[in-house]
Protein backbone atom coordinates (compact mmCIF):
# COMPACT_ATOMS: atom_id res chain seq x y z
CA UNK A 1 0.00 0.00 0.00
CA UNK A 2 1.18 3.48 -0.76
CA UNK A 3 0.93 6.62 1.26
CA UNK A 4 -2.57 7.66 2.29
CA UNK A 5 -3.53 11.19 3.23
CA UNK A 6 -6.88 11.75 4.89
CA UNK A 7 -8.23 15.13 5.78
CA UNK A 8 -9.31 15.77 9.31
CA UNK A 9 -12.61 17.57 9.18
CA UNK A 10 -12.25 19.59 12.39
CA UNK A 11 -9.42 22.06 12.12
CA UNK A 12 -8.38 25.44 13.30
CA UNK A 13 -8.00 28.28 10.83
CA UNK A 14 -4.22 28.00 10.95
CA UNK A 15 -4.35 24.39 9.88
CA UNK A 16 -6.70 25.23 7.03
CA UNK A 17 -4.14 27.73 5.76
CA UNK A 18 -1.48 25.03 5.89
CA UNK A 19 -3.72 22.73 3.89
CA UNK A 20 -4.26 25.34 1.23
CA UNK A 21 -0.51 25.45 0.88
CA UNK A 22 -0.41 21.68 0.52
CA UNK A 23 -3.23 21.87 -2.08
CA UNK A 24 -5.47 19.38 -0.32
CA UNK A 25 -9.18 19.19 -1.00
CA UNK A 26 -11.43 18.94 2.08
CA UNK A 27 -13.16 15.59 2.41
CA UNK A 28 -11.09 13.94 -0.32
CA UNK A 29 -8.79 11.01 0.30
CA UNK A 30 -5.73 10.85 -1.94
CA UNK A 31 -3.41 7.94 -2.35
CA UNK A 32 -0.43 6.94 -4.44
CA UNK A 33 -1.42 3.28 -4.40
CA UNK A 34 -3.03 1.26 -7.20
CA UNK A 35 -4.63 -1.10 -4.72
CA UNK A 36 -8.19 0.10 -5.31
CA UNK A 37 -8.07 -0.11 -9.06
CA UNK A 38 -6.21 -3.41 -8.87
CA UNK A 39 -9.01 -4.74 -6.67
CA UNK A 40 -11.71 -3.46 -9.02
CA UNK A 41 -10.02 -5.16 -11.94
CA UNK A 42 -10.71 -8.51 -10.30
CA UNK A 43 -14.41 -7.85 -9.82
CA UNK A 44 -17.37 -7.69 -12.12
CA UNK A 45 -17.39 -3.93 -11.74
CA UNK A 46 -14.52 -3.78 -14.24
CA UNK A 47 -16.72 -5.45 -16.83
CA UNK A 48 -19.21 -2.65 -16.43
CA UNK A 49 -16.47 0.00 -16.59
CA UNK A 50 -15.03 -1.55 -19.71
CA UNK A 51 -18.49 -1.72 -21.29
CA UNK A 52 -18.68 2.02 -20.82
CA UNK A 53 -15.17 2.60 -22.09
CA UNK A 54 -15.53 0.51 -25.21
CA UNK A 55 -18.68 2.31 -26.21
CA UNK A 56 -17.13 5.74 -26.02
CA UNK A 57 -13.97 5.60 -28.11
CA UNK A 58 -13.52 9.20 -29.11
CA UNK A 59 -10.60 9.47 -31.46
CA UNK A 60 -8.32 12.40 -32.04
CA UNK A 61 -8.41 13.87 -35.54
CA UNK A 62 -4.71 14.06 -36.10
CA UNK A 63 -4.30 13.17 -39.77
CA UNK A 64 -0.70 12.60 -40.77
CA UNK A 65 -0.84 11.56 -44.41
CA UNK A 66 -3.15 10.11 -47.02
CA UNK A 67 -4.55 7.73 -44.38
CA UNK A 68 -5.70 10.85 -42.62
CA UNK A 69 -8.12 11.51 -45.48
CA UNK A 70 -9.69 8.09 -44.93
CA UNK A 71 -9.77 8.82 -41.21
CA UNK A 72 -11.67 12.04 -41.78
CA UNK A 73 -14.02 10.25 -44.17
CA UNK A 74 -14.67 7.68 -41.46
CA UNK A 75 -15.61 10.42 -39.06
CA UNK A 76 -18.10 11.93 -41.49
CA UNK A 77 -21.80 11.21 -41.59
CA UNK A 78 -21.81 8.46 -44.21
CA UNK A 79 -20.30 5.76 -41.99
CA UNK A 80 -22.21 6.92 -38.91
CA UNK A 81 -19.59 5.89 -36.37
CA UNK A 82 -21.73 7.39 -33.63
CA UNK A 83 -23.61 4.11 -33.40
CA UNK A 84 -20.43 2.57 -31.93
CA UNK A 85 -19.70 5.59 -29.78
CA UNK A 86 -16.81 6.61 -32.04
CA UNK A 87 -16.70 10.36 -32.42
CA UNK A 88 -13.89 12.52 -33.79
CA UNK A 89 -12.49 15.05 -31.36
CA UNK A 90 -10.10 17.86 -32.11
CA UNK A 91 -8.33 18.08 -28.78
CA UNK A 92 -6.10 15.35 -27.35
CA UNK A 93 -7.53 16.12 -23.92
CA UNK A 94 -10.99 15.03 -25.04
CA UNK A 95 -9.85 11.95 -26.90
CA UNK A 96 -9.52 8.30 -25.92
CA UNK A 97 -7.94 6.92 -29.08
CA UNK A 98 -4.99 8.20 -31.03
CA UNK A 99 -4.72 6.97 -34.60
CA UNK A 100 -1.21 7.03 -36.03
CA UNK A 101 -2.20 7.53 -39.63
CA UNK A 102 1.04 8.02 -41.51
CA UNK A 103 4.77 7.54 -41.48
CA UNK A 104 6.45 8.97 -38.40
CA UNK A 105 9.53 11.01 -39.13
CA UNK A 106 12.30 11.68 -36.66
CA UNK A 107 11.18 15.28 -36.49
CA UNK A 108 7.52 14.47 -35.90
CA UNK A 109 8.06 11.81 -33.24
CA UNK A 110 8.53 14.28 -30.34
CA UNK A 111 5.29 16.05 -31.28
CA UNK A 112 3.46 12.74 -31.45
CA UNK A 113 4.76 11.76 -28.02
CA UNK A 114 3.62 15.14 -26.75
CA UNK A 115 0.10 14.56 -28.06
CA UNK A 116 0.04 11.09 -26.55
CA UNK A 117 1.07 12.39 -23.15
CA UNK A 118 -1.61 15.08 -23.26
CA UNK A 119 -4.38 12.50 -23.60
CA UNK A 120 -6.15 11.49 -20.43
CA UNK A 121 -5.93 7.85 -19.43
CA UNK A 122 -7.36 5.33 -20.25
CA UNK A 123 -6.20 5.77 -23.82
CA UNK A 124 -5.54 3.54 -26.78
CA UNK A 125 -3.55 3.69 -30.00
CA UNK A 126 -4.41 2.33 -33.42
CA UNK A 127 -1.71 2.05 -36.07
CA UNK A 128 -3.44 2.79 -39.36
CA UNK A 129 -1.85 1.98 -42.68
CA UNK A 130 1.40 0.42 -43.80
CA UNK A 131 3.36 3.61 -43.17
CA UNK A 132 2.72 3.71 -39.46
CA UNK A 133 3.16 -0.05 -39.04
CA UNK A 134 6.49 -0.44 -40.77
CA UNK A 135 7.35 2.71 -42.68
CA UNK A 136 5.49 1.71 -45.83
CA UNK A 137 7.13 2.86 -49.05
CA UNK A 138 9.38 5.12 -47.00
CA UNK A 139 10.75 2.30 -44.85
CA UNK A 140 14.40 2.90 -45.66
CA UNK A 141 14.36 6.67 -45.66
CA UNK A 142 16.87 8.49 -43.50
CA UNK A 143 14.11 10.27 -41.63
CA UNK A 144 11.61 7.46 -41.02
CA UNK A 145 11.09 5.94 -37.60
CA UNK A 146 10.53 2.22 -38.05
CA UNK A 147 8.73 -0.20 -35.71
CA UNK A 148 6.47 2.30 -34.04
CA UNK A 149 5.13 -0.41 -31.73
CA UNK A 150 8.36 -0.28 -29.75
CA UNK A 151 7.58 3.35 -28.89
CA UNK A 152 3.81 3.32 -28.37
CA UNK A 153 1.58 0.58 -26.89
CA UNK A 154 -0.39 -0.18 -30.03
CA UNK A 155 -3.47 -2.32 -29.65
CA UNK A 156 -4.66 -2.80 -33.21
CA UNK A 157 -2.74 -2.69 -36.49
CA UNK A 158 -4.84 -1.88 -39.54
CA UNK A 159 -2.92 -2.75 -42.72
CA UNK A 160 -3.72 -1.13 -46.04
CA UNK A 161 -2.44 1.64 -48.21
CA UNK A 162 -4.60 3.37 -47.18
CA UNK A 163 -7.17 1.19 -45.39
CA UNK A 164 -10.74 1.84 -46.38
CA UNK A 165 -13.02 3.48 -43.82
CA UNK A 166 -14.66 0.10 -43.33
CA UNK A 167 -11.25 -1.32 -42.36
CA UNK A 168 -10.70 1.47 -39.85
CA UNK A 169 -14.14 0.80 -38.44
CA UNK A 170 -13.28 -2.89 -38.20
CA UNK A 171 -10.13 -1.90 -36.33
CA UNK A 172 -12.21 0.03 -33.85
CA UNK A 173 -14.50 -2.96 -33.37
CA UNK A 174 -11.51 -5.21 -32.74
CA UNK A 175 -10.32 -2.68 -30.17
CA UNK A 176 -13.75 -2.79 -28.53
CA UNK A 177 -13.51 -6.58 -28.36
CA UNK A 178 -10.07 -6.32 -26.77
CA UNK A 179 -11.34 -3.87 -24.19
CA UNK A 180 -14.32 -6.07 -23.41
CA UNK A 181 -11.97 -9.05 -23.01
CA UNK A 182 -9.65 -6.96 -20.77
CA UNK A 183 -6.71 -7.67 -23.09
CA UNK A 184 -6.06 -4.10 -24.23
CA UNK A 185 -2.81 -2.34 -23.48
CA UNK A 186 -4.30 1.11 -23.01
CA UNK A 187 -5.90 0.61 -19.62
CA UNK A 188 -2.54 0.06 -18.00
CA UNK A 189 -1.43 3.50 -19.05
- Residue number with CB closer to another protein (86 or 145): 145
DSSP state of 146: P
Binding mask 79-118 for another protein (x = CB under 8 A): ---------------------------xx-----------
Q: What is the CA radius of gyration of the chain?
A: 20
Binding region for another protein (CB under 8 A) out of 1-9, 71-79, 92-100, 142-150: 142-150
φ, ψ at 98 (rounded to 5°)? -105, 130
Within positions 7 to 26, which residues make up the interface with another protein, using CB under 8 A? none
- At residue 122, the 3 state secondary structure works out as coil
Supply the minimum distance, in Å, between the C-beta of residue 154 and another protein.
10
Q: Give the shortest CB-104-to-another protein separation in angstroms.
A: 12
DSSP 9-48: SS--HHHHHHHHHHTPPTT--EES--HHHHHHHHSTHHHH
| Residue 143 within binding range of another protein, rule CB under 8 A | yes
The stretch near another protein (CB under 8 A) out of 25-33, 59-67, 92-100, 134-142 is: 134-142
Closest C-alpha among 98, 24, 96 to residue 56 = 96
> Percent helix, strand and coil across the chain, each rounded to 5?
45, 10, 45
Instruction: Pick between residue 75 and residue 171 the one whose CB is nearest to another protein.
Output: 171
Compute the least distance from the CB of residue 27 to another protein, in Å: 48
Cis upstream peptide for 44 (omega within 30°): no
Q: Does 134 bind another protein (CB under 8 A)?
A: yes
What residues make contact with another protein under the rule CB under 8 A? Answer: 106-107, 133-135, 139-147, 149, 157
Amino acid sequence: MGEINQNITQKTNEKVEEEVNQEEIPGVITTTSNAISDFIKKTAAQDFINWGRKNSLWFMTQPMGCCGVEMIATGCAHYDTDRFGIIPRNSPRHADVMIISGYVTKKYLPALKNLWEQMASPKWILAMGDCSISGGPFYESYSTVQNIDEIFPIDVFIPGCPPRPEALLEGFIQLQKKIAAKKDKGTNY
